[in-house]
Each structure stands twice: as C-alpha cells, then as structure tokens.
Structure 1
Amino acid sequence: MLPMLRRVSFAVNKARPTAQTFNTPTYTSGRRGSAVSAMVQDKDPFKPAQRVAGQRQDVWSIVNEAAQASPVQPIVNMGQGFFGYNPPQFVLDAAHEALGKVECNQYSPTKGRPRLKKAIADAYSSSFGRTLNPETEVTVTTGANEGMLSAFMGFLEPGDEVIVFEPFFDQYISNIEMPGGKVVYVPLHPPANGASETTSASEWTVDLAELESKITPRTRMIVINTPHNPVGKVFSRDELQAIGDLCVKHNILILSDEVYDRLYYVPFTRIATLSPEIAALTLTVGSAGKLFYATGWRVGYLIGPEHLIKYVAAAHTRICFSSVSPLQEATAVAFEQAEKRGFWEESKAEMKGKLDRFNEVWDELGLPYSIPEGGYFVLVNLSKVQLPADYPFPPHVASRPRDFKLSWFCIKELGVAAIPPTEFFTDANAHTVEDWLRFAVCKPDEVLEQAKERLRGLRKYIK
C-alpha cells in the first residue's frame, strides 16, 4: 500500500495576482434542498471535463485509420517516432538481470533509484561543466512527458502563461492546460525558399522581438526543444543566450526539452550552461527511452537546481508516486556502460547515416527538404506533388490542411505513413507548413530502403 500523501503548497518566487477562492455550498432540506436535488439530478453524469471535450480527431487516429484501410500492405510506418529495433544487447542484459532482483521489483524511491540518479549525474556532469549532485539536482520520472507534466504542475497556477514555440510537441499543450496554464504561441519561421530548395534546419528562426512582445506579467515559463522535433533544429548558442537573457530579465522559468541530446550533428549547447543566472531558472528534460532505443520503458528525468527540482519531485509524487523499478535499474547500467562502449558516438553516427540514406530519395525526386541538425525526423516539402482533383478524401481529412491530404494519399496509394506537421501548429500558423510532411528514420535500414522504393511512386504526381 502506498503511504498517505499530504497536499502541499508549491512555493513560487514570482509575484502574481491572488487566486480566487471558492466556498462549498451547504445543502439543506426543504424547498431549497429540493431545488438543489433537482439540479443535481439534471446533471449529465457522463459529460466529460472541458479539457478533453470537443477535441477534433487527432493525427494519430487519422493516420492509423488510413493505414488499416490502405490496399497497400504492409504499411511502412515512417510516421511515429518509435524505434524499429531493440536497445543494444548490454541494455537488454541489464533489464533481464534487474528483473531477477527482489528489490528491483518493488517500489523505488519517488525521486528515483539512487543508482540511476548517480549514473545520470555522472553522465551529464561533463556537459554541464560541473559536478552534479544526484540527490538534489536530479529526479527520475515516468518518461520525459510525465516529467514535464510534473514541472508544470509544480509551478503553474491557473492563469499563468507559458510560451511555446510552434511547431510544438503536442503533449506540451495538454500538460500546460491541466493545471490551468495558458499557452502563448511564438512561431518558428520556416526558410523563405523552403518550397524550392533544400535548406538547413537552422534556417527555421525565432524573431526575438516577437518573442519578447509575447511576455506579460503573467508569463511564468518558456519551453524550448533542442534538438527540435519535428524541425530538427539545434538552437545556436547565440539564440539560446538571447532567450536566456530575456528569461533572466523578466524572471521566467525555462523548461528545456533536450530528449534528443545525444543525437546532434552540429555543435550543441545546453541553455543551463550559459550563465549562473540562466542556470538558476532552468529545468533540463531528458529521456532514457530516446537515448537507448527503448521508448516503451518510460524512463525520463529532469536536471536542475535544488530550488526547482524539489517541486518537480513533489508533483511527480502525487501524479504517479514512483517509476518502474527494474527499468530504472537497467537504465542505470546503460548510463554506466554507454561511454565505455562508445555507444554515444556510435548511435549518433548510425542515426546520421540513416538520415543521409533516407534523404537520397528526395534528391532523386527533386523534392526539397530541411536537413536536420539533430534528432531523427526530417521535414520534406511536397508542394510540387499535385494531388488528383477528384481524389476521394473522407470529410474529416478534406476539411484539414493540405498536409493531412498528402499524408492520407501517401498511405493509401504508396503504403508509406508520414505525419502532417500542421498538427503541431495553431490554426493561425498552420498554412506555413501545409506542404510539408514529417518522416521518422529511426527504423531498420531495410525498412528505409522499402520506404524509398515506394516513395519513388510520387514521381508521376510531381509537376
């Protein structure tokens, strides 16, 4: 049985308007009581909360629906970013061994197993430029996503604003809104010539004046993702310095989503390393699932100063108490051995090779793409692809931007699944990417070759 948990108030260091309080009504007998009773009876017990009500069909269900109905089988799934192969053997061996240990099949400490926290601290100290304290500066979470939810739950009050760059990881939005936060969007601007020429992911840029114009007295946090999904952009040191300086100036927390932090192909900078003032405001998010090809393990972690980490850990305790014990133990071993085995450089070279190999097909077809600087996604511009005017798109696809039609068409006609990136934009800015599709290359080489062969079928639709 889990221990009884007491509700605690999360300390904050930024002035904000006082939250409204609500009084609970007292129900009485008599005519008033009858009226209240009738009101309660009129309520729909099956009505969902507003946070999940009225949502349009999400991209994942649309892609899966098309895949199931496609006459071209089996589908080559280049859409979702899960790996098409197992973690390395030394990681699998560690998982098998952990399952045989009694203590690894019971609750772990809520902040994570001591061995894993130490392994994370040891693995990250060199890139942070100092020795990290595993007990006060690291907390383990049930995947990076739950870690980010814990960060938002730990610091946001209703009405607080969080700045998010478009395109965004879709889970950011619900995670911010759950504790009552308001999302404020700032777009990354695509390269002006992206429809006609292959460009670098670095050419997706932030307008710093536009960013600062979105800051208000209610701005509590900003979310950065580098290397970026889906763009593949690695924010430059100068960009991060400018963003960090704004956060120091306005006393804004930074949530830096760095889950692809071992897959970078240009110089990579951690925003937390730029100055002591920026470090004091920064929580860095990591994912063992992304690093070790084990997304289903759901082992994530946050690194940051004690005055921030302790509130993330407090929220995590109330969300899921602790994370999966044997996989934490296996992840600890993975971190301990990765450097010795040359795994980091090997995985980076392997993924860069997959990107280069897959992108050969776009060079063949004359379709421009955005060359990734990190991660394992590539954005391809298909504005030259002319879809048949009378193609029978279902209404829920026909009503969405052109990239949904491109995705549906590629699945049904070619048997290749890709993700429409307008799903990661607001409606106001979706037009900037409606000719692009996102492909994930974290698949076996034979799958990449099969995808390339099928995608050559686009040639007859290119005008």
Structure 2
Amino acid sequence: MSADPFKPAQRVAGARADVWTIVNEAAAASPVQPIINMGQGFFGYNPPPFVIEAAKGCLDRVECNQYSPTKGRPRLKKAIADSYAPFYNHELDGEKNVTITTGANEGMLSAFMGFLEPGDEAIIFEPFFDQYTSNIEMPGGKVVYVPMIPPSRGATEKTSASEWKIDMEKFKAAITPKTRMIVLNSPHNPIGKIFSRDELEEIGEVCVKHNLIILSDEVYDKLYYTPEKFVRIANLSEEMWKRTLVVGSGGKIFYATGWRVGWLIGPEHLIKYVAGAHTRICYSSVSPLQEATAIGLEEAEKYNFYEESRKEMKAKMDRFNEVWDELGLPYSDPDGGYFVLVNLAKVKLPEDYDYPSYVSSRPRDFQLMWFLIMEIGVAAIPPTEFFTLENEHLVKDWLRFAVCKNDDVLETAKERLRKLKQYIV
C-alpha cells in the first residue's frame, strides 16, 4: 500500500500549539475586553507621514506595480547603501553588497538556504527569535543551542539587559566540524541587550578560528538607548566583514511591520548566494513598498527621524516601566528595541485557578500569561517559548511586553496591571 498522501511533513507534524495562537485565542476569550495587546511586536500607530505619502505616490506609478528585480529595486539598494555607509568601515555598493527580501525573516531563510546543506549545524543563542529554528531546519540544517544566562538577582531587583551573558564555554564546546553558521541578535529580542565591543570581539575570535559565517540580526539597530554608538560585528575587522551577513528591516525602522520589506548587507561573495536562494523562494518582493522604503531612507535624516524615533521609544519604555517600579516587580531594563522582560516571581497565582491543559502543562510563564489575559486584560508573551526544554527554567517567571503602542494604551495597560498588587507576596 502506498504511503498516506495526506501525511504532513515531519517539520510541521506534531508541533505543539505555538505561543501566538495561544495568546490570540486567549485574548479573544477573555472576559476583560478590549484586551491590551502588549504581546506581539506590532506597532499601535502608523508610519511617519513622509513614508505614508511615499507609499501612496508609489501606487500611482506603473513600474512600481510590476515585478521588481529579484535582488531588489535599484533605488532601494542604493538608499540602503547610502544610509548605512556612515556606519560601516567598508565601502557599500548597493548592487554588490545589498539584496532585498520579503521581510527580514525571509531574508534569514534565504541566508540559511544559501549556505546550509543537510546535516550542517548552526548555533543560536537562547532566548532566540522562534523563526530561527524553522529557518535553519527547512534546508536540512541542525540547530545547536547555547544559553544566555540572566543576572542572578533578576528576581529580586531591577537589572540591565547588558547583564545577560552568553555562556562562552558552552559556545566553544558546541562547535563541531559540522558547524557552518552562528546567529547573533543585537539589539536583542526579547532581552533588549546590545552586545558590547568586548563581547563581539570574543564571539568574533571564535568564528574566525573555526571559519564560521555570522548572520547578524540587527533589525532593531535604529532603536538603541546607550550613550555609546551601536557596535556592529561586521565592523570589527576586515576578517569579520568577509564572514558577516547583516539583516535589516524597513518594517521595524518605519513602524510598518506589515510591509515585509527586509534586506541583507554583506560582502559580494556571500550576498550573491543569499540573492540566489531568495529568487527561488519568492522571486521578488513587493514593488511599491520597496520604492516607498527607499524614499523613507532617503528622507529620514531631513526629518531627524532616527533620533526622534529613539527618543519616542525610550520615553514609551520609561513611561510603561513606571508601573513595575510602583509594584516592586523587577525588570530587565533594555538597552535597545521595544521589548521589556519583567520578572513576576513575586506574583502568587491562585492555586485552584483553572487553566486549559495546553497551558497547565507548560512552564509557569504560560500560566502567568493566561492569568494576565483573563483577569487583568493585558497580553504578554511567555519567553520560555524562546528557550529549549533544557533551559526554559531560566525564564519561567518572566514575561515579555512590547511598548510600541500609543501612550493612552500604555496608560490603560498600567492601570490594569496595578491590579496585580493584590497577588504580590
């Protein structure tokens, strides 16, 4: 008898319910409505007017409504090269050093498709953006996990995101003859950590020693709050430039996550294979929004957009985190991005609370998430979703909140979260 033609591929069969589905279904069922969704990192407001106007104008142009070149529209590639040239020690050529992808996520998939053969290994650091795993496994790669360790006093006092550290000994021990790539994320989601120059140099030395490709996910690179300039691993040396692919996102920069305009920057000998894989995955990306993103990059400095964006997001972060200071709940103060991790070990959940089985069987942060949605009316993300089973104990008392929302939404969330006071011991 022939095999069941309806049997799903192993890569999707038997997967447990993902966190996004659980959160959204819980939010819809909550008796507290409307839910304040601080879970997913989508913006609660529109892109800046000059970017919106650019998009509207591009829709009226015939050429912007047809296929773009597979590597991306020339204007966008040039705009990226020109915009990022001041931040690199290496000359950037839009035609040689940039390729456009359908969002940063498809860009990362293209990078893995371009370089991983079945059985090759790629190292990612926990916590990790959950798409890394599937993107590595799709071309037959094997994911190897190395934990980042939270500060030991994170359950009792406010700490800095910079205090989360890679276990370097475990990193070195994880490398085998099959290791081909590592994935680095800075500013980091969900921690908000920005890796220091010293940390990047230590990671870079290991990569040079073992001849590894670095996929540097820098989609939050415009949102950093440290007094020092954001350090890019590709800039550490000529050797690092030769082995680094940098991931960027127009959606993250311009508050337009639904546009799905991403890119990779790197040396030509790497970029050409990413572009080749992208061509086979989706051929080309959305033309009018590519052109609008190009105009946004060209005009951003005229409006002092990047500086204003940083100030605005930092103000939202500080405004929202006031509620944790009021409640005496410690959090990890981020150096960049728009997520904050809060430790809720002091919150005592009712012992007889009724959770669905797919929540009660998961770590405590899932139960915290469910309780906040159902009783408080605020949605957050449990970060054990971004850890392996072996290491999820490290964050079982934390939740991730996204602050990229309107100020009135943040104030409503704070007012609701104050109800947690009765559960704090």
TM-score range, shorter chain: over 0.9
Per the normalisation by structure 2, the TM-score is 0.99
Residue among 138, 148, 154 paired with 2:108: 148
Where do 1:189-200 residues align within 5 Å? 189-200=149-160
CA offset at residue 97 of structure 1? Answer: 0.3
CA offset at residue 57 of structure 1? Answer: 0.5
Q: Deviations over 1:90-136 (max 9, x none)?
A: 00000000000000000000000000000000000010133301100
CA distance in 2, matches of 1:130, 1:304: 10
Tell me, yes or no, if the aligned pair for 1:240 and 1:271 is still in contact at 8 Å: yes
Tell me, yes or no, if structure 1 residue 281 matches structure 2 residue 243. yes
Residue among 133, 136, 139 paired with 1:176: 136
CA offset at residue 209 of structure 1? Answer: 1.8
Q: Deviations over 1:123-151 (max 9, x none)?
A: 00010133301100000000000000000
Residue among 171, 186, 189 paired with 2:146: 186
Tell me, yes or no, if the aligned pair for 1:382 and 1:435 is still in contact at 8 Å: yes
Tell me, yes or no, if the aligned pair for 1:245 and 1:278 is still in contact at 8 Å: no
Tell me, yes or no, if the aligned pair for 1:200 and 1:370 is still in contact at 8 Å: yes
CA offset at residue 45 of structure 1? Answer: 1.5
CA distance in 1, matches of 2:235, 2:394: 33
Tell me, yes or no, if structure 1 residue 130 matches structure 2 residue 99. no
Residue among 74, 79, 86 paired with 1:119: 79
The match for 1:386 is 348
Amino acid at match of 1:81: G
Larger radius of gyration: 1
The match for 2:203 is 243
The match for 1:166 is 126
CA offset at residue 207 of structure 1? Answer: 2.1
The match for 1:78 is 38
CA offset at residue 362 of structure 1? Answer: 0.1
Residue among 21, 28, 36 paired with 1:68: 28
Amino acid at match of 1:114: P
CA offset at residue 245 of structure 1? Answer: 1.1
CA offset at residue 46 of structure 1? Answer: 1.1
Tell me, yes or no, if structure 1 residue 426 matches structure 2 residue 378. no
SS of match in other structure, 1:183: strand
Q: Deviations over 1:341-365 (max 9, x none)?
A: 1000000000000000000000000
Tell me, yes or no, if structure 1 residue 341 matches structure 2 residue 268. no
SS of match in other structure, 1:245: helix
CA distance in 2, matches of 1:142, 1:157: 22
Unaligned runs of 5+ residues in structure 1 are 1-38
Q: Deviations over 1:26-66 (max 9, x none)?
A: xxxxxxxxxxxxx32xx212110000000000101111111
CA distance in 1, matches of 2:321, 2:182: 33
Amino acid at match of 1:325: S
SS of match in other structure, 2:332: strand
Q: Deviations over 1:214-247 (max 9, x none)?
A: 1110000000000000000000011001111111
CA offset at residue 68 of structure 1? Answer: 1.0
The match for 2:163 is 203
CA distance in 1, matches of 2:194, 2:90: 23
CA offset at residue 442 of structure 1? Answer: 0.2
CA distance in 2, matches of 1:129, 1:444: 37
Tell me, yes or no, if the aligned pair for 1:256 and 1:282 is still in contact at 8 Å: yes
The match for 1:15 is none
CA offset at residue 200 of structure 1? Answer: 0.1
Amino acid at match of 2:392: A
Tell me, yes or no, if structure 1 residue 50 matches structure 2 residue 10. yes
CA distance in 1, matches of 2:242, 2:124: 20
Unaligned runs of 5+ residues in structure 2 are none
Amino acid at match of 1:283: L
Tell me, yes or no, if structure 1 residue 396 matches structure 2 residue 358. yes
CA distance in 1, matches of 2:258, 2:33: 25
* Equivalent pairs, count: 423
CA distance in 1, matches of 2:27, 2:297: 37
SS of match in other structure, 2:165: coil
SS of match in other structure, 1:340: helix
Where do 1:307-326 residues align within 5 Å? 307-326=269-288
CA distance in 2, matches of 1:399, 1:448: 31
